[in-house]
């Protein structure tokens, strides 16, 4: 009886690629009394593994916290597996704003002391005495109330790339750090202000709202379903999004765009950018924001020292990593002395890039391109790629570039187009376009028009 993942991430990526199925990324949580978390964990694995569910799931005596992906055609079978448990019957599933077939590459279900590391002693207060849940419209209305204080319950690297306007954003690495800081900062407003909280999917606010009520805050509110559900409601009801930028997510995507606003900067050169990445040096793996220019110049690394490491033979790299714990990976997200712009109090920026430029004598000319759309499907037998045009247009005769982590950079000239399965000379914003490709595309791939 298999109870653990037996495939590597690389093997699973190939299987996903070969399957050619569209996958859904979703998350959910539920607080409940689970008598035997280990048995519950094993039951979930046995039910989900045949359905090709992949993700990171934590279970504990207090409930379940799940972030996962699955083939779209297995969605209802998956729902049946969770609704066998009374406490998950009718549970809200937060469907991701943007999908990527490769958001998760393993099924990992772990038994933990808690489903969110909050550092709290739940015996000292009632965790079921939570704040008032607000839907998107009511949340927007309360944001306009001058007696409202809105607090981002996420970590600094999450709020840096996107947040609600006028929110307090604690500079913390972990959720548990934020609770005493917020309590101290708002101690004088326990009675006269409305405390309005939000997080990614709602789970952190669920515990935080009960904690703050226990600490004497009288008017406590939380965003129902977090940023993910808020975005869905905003789109469905035609509301104005008061959240700007990107929503950080804890999978391979590292973020999904909510609005076109870019509210953060590249940590190496300072130009507007909200793309998170992990340092290409596996012995570092620092999470930081890096623009396309710096990614090219620094070869995906956070520092010239890490660039030196990735050029060493693999055996030497492994020897360097041996015995090193996960320091940067866990405790140094977006905070490291090597991040030139992020830490340059003097205003001197760009050192990391200029240092590396001295090492490269010939620079390839950059292709001038305009982002047109994104991949939404690939038909392996017909060798046809399908894209959604997000802005602008493409027409027969145009040179295009298709770019993705796995695909790399592929250029070609469009000889024939199909819009809604009918031949067409042009495809414009809002349309779905298909054309033959000599290579496979992924849902994370971007479509560009080459302009020079």
Set 199, 205, 269, 273: catalytic member: 199
Output the six-digit token pair for 383: 């060798």
For the question of residue 199 being annotated catalytic, the response is yes
Specify whether the CB–CB gap between 71 and 22 falls below 8 A: yes
Quote the tokens at residue 272: 């507007």
| Dihedral sign of CA atoms 430, 435, 438, 443 in order | positive
Going from the C-alpha of 401 to that of each of 102, 384, 408, the distances in angstroms are 21, 15, 10
d(CA 205, CA 376): 33
- Residue where the block lists tokens 């596996």: 282
Residue 202: how many CB atoms within 10 A of its CB?
25
Strand order in the sheet with 446-450: 408-413, 399-404, 446-450, 369-379, 384-389, 432-436, 417-419, 422-424
Measure the CA–CA gap between 431 and 201, rounded to whole angstroms. Answer: 31
Whole-number Å distance between alpha carbons of 435 and 92:
37
d(CA 79, CA 75): 6
Nearest residue to 382 via CA among 440, 314, 425, 335: 440
Q: How far is Cα 345 from Cα 331, in angstroms, rounded to an integer? A: 22
- 134 to each of 145, 197, 211, 378, how far by Cα in Å? 14, 10, 18, 39
In degrees and rounded to multiples of 5, residue 197 shows phi and psi of: -120, 155
Catalytic residues: 199
């Amino acid at each position: 009886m298999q109870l653990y993942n037996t495939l590597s991430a690389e093997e699973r990526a190939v299987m996903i690629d070969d399957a050619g199925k569209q996958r859904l990324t979703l998350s959910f949580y539920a607080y409940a009394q689970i008598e035997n978390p280990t048995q519950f964990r094993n039951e979930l694995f046995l039910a989900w593994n045949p359905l090709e569910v992949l993700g990171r799931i934590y279970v504990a005596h207090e409930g379940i916290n799940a972030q996962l992906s699955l083939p779209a055609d297995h969605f209802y079978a998956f729902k049946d597996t969770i609704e066998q448990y009374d406490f998950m019957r009718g549970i809200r599933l937060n469907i991701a704003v943007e999908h990527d077939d490769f958001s998760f590459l393993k099924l990992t279900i772990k038994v933990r002391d808690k489903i969110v590391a909050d550092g709290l002693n739940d015996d000292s207060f009632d965790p079921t005495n939570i704040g008032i849940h607000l839907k998107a419209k009511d949340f927007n209305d309360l944001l306009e109330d001058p007696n409202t204080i809105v607090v981002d319950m996420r970590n600094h690297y999450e709020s840096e790339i996107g947040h609600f306007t006028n929110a307090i954003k604690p500079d913390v690495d972990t959720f548990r750090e934020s609770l005493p800081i917020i309590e101290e900062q708002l101690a004088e407003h326990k009675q006269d202000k409305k405390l309005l909280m939000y997080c990614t999917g709602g789970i952190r606010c669920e515990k935080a709202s009960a904690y703050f009520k226990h600490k004497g805050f009288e008017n406590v509110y939380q965003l129902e379903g977090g940023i993910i559900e808020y975005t869905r409601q905003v789109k469905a009801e035609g509301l104005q999004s008061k959240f700007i930028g990107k929503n950080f997510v804890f999978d391979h995507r590292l973020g999904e765009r909510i609005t076109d606003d870019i509210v953060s900067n590249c940590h190496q050169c300072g130009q507007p950018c909200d793309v998170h990445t992990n340092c290409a040096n596996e012995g570092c793996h620092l999470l930081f924001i890096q623009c396309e220019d710096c990614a090219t110049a620094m070869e995906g690394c956070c520092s010239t020292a890490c660039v030196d490491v990735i050029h060493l033979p693999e055996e030497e790299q492994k020897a360097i990593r041996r015995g090193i714990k996960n320091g940067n990976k866990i405790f140094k997200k977006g905070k490291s002395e090597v991040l030139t712009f992020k830490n340059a109090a003097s205003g001197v920026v760009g050192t990391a890039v200029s240092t590396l430029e001295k090492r490269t004598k010939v620079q390839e000319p950059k292709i001038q391109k305009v982002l047109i759309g994104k991949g939404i499907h690939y038909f392996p037998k017909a060798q046809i790629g399908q894209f959604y045009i997000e802005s602008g247009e493409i027409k027969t005769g145009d040179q295009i570039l298709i770019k993705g982590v796995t695909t790399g950079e592929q250029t070609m000239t469009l000889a024939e187009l199909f819009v809604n399965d009918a031949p067409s000379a042009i495809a414009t914003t809002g349309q779905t376009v298909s054309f033959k490709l000599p290579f496979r595309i992924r849902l994370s791939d971007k479509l560009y028009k080459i302009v020079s």
